[in-house]
Chains A and B, each alone.
Chain A
Amino acid sequence: MTQIPLTYYLILSAFLLCSGLLIVLIKKNAVFVLIGIELMLNAANLNLVAFSKFDPELNGQVFAIFSVVIAAAEAAIALAILLNIYKTYDTSDLDDLNTLKH
């Protein structure tokens, strides 16, 4: 089985990160922004896993599993906050959530 070179992983990861970043920057809906953040997180995870392939101690993979767990917890909290915001302000549009500005 031929090895897939690291560069491919990194390119995919960069693509994921850029897509996530674009989603975070462009989309107005908070849910999409969260999804963008997940994408960026997973891009990082992909990097960790890809680099750990060349690490005999597999520290990167362990770290990635941690990261996935924490991402799940974070997503749960973020969604909970989002739900509360939606309940309170009747909107999930980020441009309307500007009370801190004033």
Chain B
Amino acid sequence: MTTPAIYITLVLMFPLLGGVITYLSGSKNASRLSLMGMLPGAVIAGFLIYQSHDASLVVRWEWLPGYEFGWCIDRISAVLIGLVYLVSLLVHLFSAHYLSHDRAIHRYFGKLGFFTASMIGLLAADHFLLVFIFWELVGFSSYLLIGFWYEDVEKAVAARKAFMVNRVADAGLLIGVILMVTELNQPFLSSLVGGESSLLVHLAGFGLMIGALGKSAQFPFSGWLPKAMAGPTPVSALIHAATMVAAGVYLLIRVAPFLSPPVLNTTAAIGAVTAFMAAVSALTQHDIKKVLAYSTISQLGYMVMGIGAGAYQASLFHLWTHAFFKAGLFLAAGAVIHYLHTLKHTDSTFDAQDMRTMGGLKKVLPFTHVAFIICGLALSGLPLFSGFLSKEGILSGVWLWAIDHSANGYWWAYLVSDLAFVTALLTPIYIGRQILLVFHGTPRTALEKLPHMEPLGLVKVPLMVLSVGALWLVNALNPLDAGGWWLSSFLFGDSAGPGHGSIQVWTMMLSIALAVGGLAISYIFYRPGSMRSLGYQMAMVPAKWYRRLTFEGWYLESIYDGLSGNYIKVAKAARIFDRKVIDWLVNAAGVSTVVFSKALAVIDREVVDGLVNFVAWLFRGVGGVFTKIQSGKVQNQLIWMVLLLLVLVLWSQF
């Protein structure tokens, strides 16, 4: 084996082996064992980043004669593998505490290791088929983890729903992959060539785009991500915020050079629509995790939009920063949920995820509070935080794209950038609302005397690391310059990054204004002591149609249900059709065959056999006559002899 192959094998196998060993050895030392798999893997991942600086690690082998397969870890892959390892490691740490009382903790860590390995496989894969395989493995392990508490029917159903929605989108990816490998003959991600414009290229591009949209929970597939919140909260942090949902964005970044302009424009539009719709949905949720889920969809919409608009560097940057602050938000939310859960786990009707039961938690969870605020401000796009940098990059990229495209006759291009800016206003509103409702104000429900129960040191580490990662300084030196990402020149070379034109300055000022304005709006509505804050405990499912629309997430889930319900109706109709018509046809065909064959049998017996029998009878008769001559009796033969003699004599006479 070559050196790159050894690296790739190691980096893939460590989490998988750790997971398998943890699963097999039972729940006793589960968290420690799984960390034993993760830590060496993380070291190798760090080494891979160093290695990829000089040259990409490429492994190619002949899978079938004349058919090459391959892995490739270039700088982008290496950095993202490092990111996956980092977040996964932190989530492992956090889970050790979060699930310490769960009997099936070894199953949990087994699945987590399996997921990490599949995710890394996806990032390391170069051949489209490998990408597809790991894509499905990632989806499958996500399904396993969402349904971790499978005894709860609701959660098992949620896992299935999330899985099924992904399957629909994966059909698109499969079409794209098949077209890329067989028709277009571009099976390797690392060597895609674009610029062609044929029907097949458009079709393959749309297929790949649909697959990516499904995995990244973009409209119209976005409904699965809120459902995925049924899984344990650390899982949501790892899979449904930082890594797996970013796989779609990763794929889009990879295939962006290949995609044709119509596909890219569609991508940008869908990203903007998703970002806006999800941000609106996040405004009215009561579930602490659902707010974050919709927020994730919204931020992924930003990334997808950025790729569509050609600002994929900014999108990758946003993927990076988002992984930190969103994982931080989820883990902090997990700490809150865990706290409330241990507090009230005797009451079965109590919902530890409902924000109506929270409030004023900053006194009992000060550390979590600070982490949540840092990550929340990063999400809202305030300067000095990481989210501001990457979001500004995307916004200015989209703005430039809109200027460019509207000049070329795309009248809707400005709608895309406008939606992006509106979303930038909505983001601080919903996250500000959440911070105020969860941590500030007076405690709601019966949590009058809250015991001070801050998470243990082990849990603080992930929150600390992720919060620090959400600050500007670890990402770029200049807190206002979107192009100043440390990794920017490492990943894209010197050509990357937006310039410093007036658009960038305007974007910067506008996004600061929007972030501050949004936070101010949320403070006005939900400040401690305000009417909404005090009455929030009694808040019901909203009655007005537009609030209801956002609360239900634009009814996407109902639409899925309706669609699948109609499928069932169609299937039932098809079943009746099958029974009545097709079965009847088949039966009729059977009966007519029997009748026909009976008739054939009669013909066979009477005519064909009759002929044969007639011939046989004829020969038997003739033979019978002639055997009588040969009777074996001397006198008979003599009689014949005499007769023949007579005949001969008479013949010669006449």
Residue ranges of A at the interface with B (Cβ–Cβ < 8 Å):
21, 24-26, 28, 33, 94-95, 97-98, 100-102
Contacts and interface: CB of A to CB of B under 8 A. Distances in A.
B632 A101 contact: yes
B26 to A, nearest CB: 92
Contacts of B101: none
B634 A94 contact: yes
B639 A98 contact: no
A24 B633 contact: no
B585 interface: no
A88 to B, nearest CB: 17
A10 B210 CA distance: 125
A98 B633 contact: yes
Contacts of A101: 631-632
A25 B638 contact: yes
A76 B639 CA distance: 26
Interface in B619-654: 631-635, 638-639, 642
Contact of B635 (A24, A100, A102): A24
B633 A25 contact: no
B406 to A, nearest CB: 116
Nearest to B634: A94
Nearest to A21: B642
Contacts, number: 22
A100 B639 CA distance: 18
Interface of B: 631-635, 638-639, 642
A96 to B, nearest CB: 10
Contact of B639 (A25, A28, A94, A102): A25
- Residue of A25, A28, A97, A100 most packed against chain B (CB within 10 A): A25
A33 to B, nearest CB: 8
A24 B632 contact: no
A102 B631 CA distance: 10
Contacts of B639: 25
B632 A25 contact: no
A28 B642 CA distance: 17
15 contacts: A24-B635, A24-B638, A25-B635, A25-B642, A26-B635, A28-B635, A94-B633, A94-B635, A95-B633, A95-B635, A98-B632, A98-B633, A100-B632, A101-B631, A101-B632
Q: What are the 4 closest A-B residue pairs judged by CB atoms, nearest first?
A: A101-B632, A98-B632, A94-B634, A25-B635
Nearest to B633: A95
Contacts of A28: 635
B477 to A, nearest CB: 124
A33 B638 CA distance: 12
A101 B631 CA distance: 8
Given A25-B639, A95-B633, A101-B631, 17 more contacts: A21-B642, A24-B635, A25-B635, A25-B642, A26-B635, A28-B635, A33-B635, A94-B633, A94-B634, A94-B635, A95-B635, A97-B634, A98-B632, A98-B633, A100-B632, A101-B632, A102-B632
Contacts of A33: 635
Nearest to B631: A101
A25 B635 CA distance: 5
- Residue of B631, B635, B642 most packed against chain A (CB within 10 A): B635
A49 to B, nearest CB: 24
- Residue of A21, A33, A95, A97 most packed against chain B (CB within 10 A): A95
A21 B632 CA distance: 19
Contacts of B642: 21, 25
A94 to B, nearest CB: 5
Contacts of A24: 635, 638
Contacts of A100: 632
A30 B479 CA distance: 144
A97 B635 CA distance: 11
A33 B642 CA distance: 15
B626 to A, nearest CB: 15
A81 to B, nearest CB: 13
Contacts of B631: 101
Nearest to A28: B635
A101 B630 CA distance: 9
A102 B632 CA distance: 8
A15 B638 CA distance: 19
A21 B638 CA distance: 9
A98 B630 CA distance: 12
A98 B631 CA distance: 9
Contacts of B632: 98, 100-102
Contacts of B635: 24-26, 28, 33, 94-95
Contacts of A98: 632-633
Contacts of B638: 24-25
A94 B634 CA distance: 7
A26 B642 CA distance: 13
A25 B634 CA distance: 9
Nearest to A101: B632
Contacts of B633: 94-95, 98
Nearest to B635: A25
A41 B500 CA distance: 149
Contacts of B634: 94, 97
A97 B636 CA distance: 13
A95 B634 CA distance: 8
A101 B188 CA distance: 92
Nearest to B641: A25
Contacts of A26: 635
A6 B635 CA distance: 32
Contacts of A25: 635, 638-639, 642
